[in-house]
Amino acid sequence: MKPQLFITKSYLPPKEEYLELLSLIWDNHILTNEGELYKRFQELLKGYSNSKYIIPLVNGAIALQLAIRALELQGEIITTPFSHFASSGSLVWEGCKPVYADIDPQTLNIDPLEIEKRITKKTVGILAVHVYGNPCDVEQIALVSKKHNIKIIYDAAHAFGSTYKNRYVTEFGDVSMVSFHSTKIIHTIEGAALYTSGKTINERIKKLSYFGMDNNRQFKQIYGTNAKMSEFAAAMGILSIKHFEANKSILKENFEHYHLLLNVSNRISFQKLSGEINYLYVPVIFESKLLKKKIKQVLESNNIFPREYFYPSLESIFNNHKQSCLISKSISERILCLPNSVYVNKDDINNVCRLILDNI
């Protein structure tokens, strides 16, 4: 039986390197609360963003909730139906109402024209997602936000290092969230960071993530939670960044190899890229729902486990089908993300593609 191949396999740096950083924790005896490793990780993140402030946190879902609170959003937020549950879940958790705008069938990102159609007096913000790290139409979204005086949060969970016209995507909008979950290209086992250039927003996020305390450990008019990143998590993040460029080039080669092999069939299409990405995800869109189902079964019977990512389209869960988003629904029924990680090699890819092409 061939070894199993999953959509991704978490990167683990050389064990000695992690142990070396852990020994520093033992020396300092500081395990959390913005210790030395936290600060080092934070500095390294600045090498991949020009945002003024970067706040490492416990995970992406909580980080999104903190962003909504820091911006004091209450009301309707226009968002994409083609994303992870956490994008809409965070809105609902914070008492906001997700209103869905359909996606662009090529880039798979929220369509700015659809956003504008959904704006009402109750709209307070936009939560857009850089799907698979592919930059949203940030310029058009900025125009809509300015015209209607509403805030923008970018869910950049997949978008570490992504650029749009040579600018890091985290520079756009009021706040961006990058996830450092263990499946991501940069990871802290569990973790995330919020990026902003707003001084007040930064201070609010810091307080909110630290029980509501300010720098002098005083509580002032704000109730917080505990969302701090630990030293153990930051240590993993430091090593993830150290190996980022090498890992990204493996992922890019894999991504390009998949595209080269699969580009021969007109029953498969790919996401149109609008900037530079980190190449972790390899989404392929099949001509029909039935074909996707068949290919998934063939791959699974060969111990290969692609993922229906994202499925289902979120309006079907969070909005009781009251709104229809036909493009997102159709794509979510026809898409599979193929296995990619630094542990996937060309033979694996040849095998996956052969199985797909033989059964198409």
Ligand X SMILES: Cc1ncc(COP(=O)(O)O)c(C=O)c1O
Residues near ligand X (CB under 6 A) = 59-61, 83-84, 86-87, 129, 155, 157-158, 179, 181, 192
Residue 18 or 93 having the CB closest to ligand X: 93
353 burial level (CB within 10 Å; 0-12, 13-18, 19+): buried
| Of the candidates 6, 1, 9, the residue with the CA atom closest to the CA atom of residue 306 | 6
Residue 131 or 299 having the CB closest to ligand X: 131
Residue 109 or 353 having the CB closest to ligand X: 109
Q: How far is the CB of 56 from ligand X (least distance, A)?
A: 12
Within 10 angstroms of residue 144's Cβ, the number of other Cβ atoms is 18
> Cα–Cα distance between 37 and 51 in angstroms, integer?
20
Residue 51 or 59 having the CB closest to ligand X: 59
Q: What is the DSSP string of 151-181?
A: EEEEE-TT-TT-EETTEEGGGSSSEEEEE--
> Cα–Cα distance between 25 and 6 in angstroms, integer?
33
> Cα–Cα distance between 204 and 222 in angstroms, integer?
8
Residue 59 or 247 having the CB closest to ligand X: 59
Q: How far is the CB of 351 from ligand X (least distance, A)?
A: 26
Q: Residue 327 to residues 17, 107, 296: CA-CA distances in angstroms?
A: 46, 12, 21
> Cα–Cα distance between 161 and 48 in angstroms, integer?
6
Element (H, E) at 44: helix 36-46
> Cα–Cα distance between 333 and 129 in angstroms, integer?
19
Residue 262 or 335 having the CB closest to ligand X: 335
Residue 172 or 257 having the CB closest to ligand X: 172
Within 10 angstroms of residue 261's Cβ, the number of other Cβ atoms is 17
Q: Which amino acid is at 243?
A: H
Q: How far is the CB of 86 from ligand X (least distance, A)?
A: 4
Q: How far is the CB of 317 from ligand X (least distance, A)?
A: 14
Q: Using CB atoms, what's the residue nearest to ligand X?
A: 60
Q: How far is the CB of 203 from ligand X (least distance, A)?
A: 23
Q: How far is the CB of 188 from ligand X (least distance, A)?
A: 9
Q: How far is the CB of 83 from ligand X (least distance, A)?
A: 5
Residue 40 or 84 having the CB closest to ligand X: 84
Q: How far is the CB of 60 from ligand X (least distance, A)?
A: 2
Q: How far is the CB of 194 from ligand X (least distance, A)?
A: 12
| CB contact burial 230-244 (16+ within 10 A = b; e otherwise) | bbbbbbbbbbbbebb
Residue 61 or 295 having the CB closest to ligand X: 61
Q: Residue 157 to residues 130, 233, 246: CA-CA distances in angstroms?
A: 8, 17, 21
| Contact between 335 and 308 (Cβ < 8 Å) | yes
Residue 159 or 238 having the CB closest to ligand X: 159
> Phi-psi category of 119—alpha, beta or left, where left has phi over 0 and alpha has psi -120 to 50?
beta
Q: How far is the CB of 182 from ligand X (least distance, A)?
A: 9
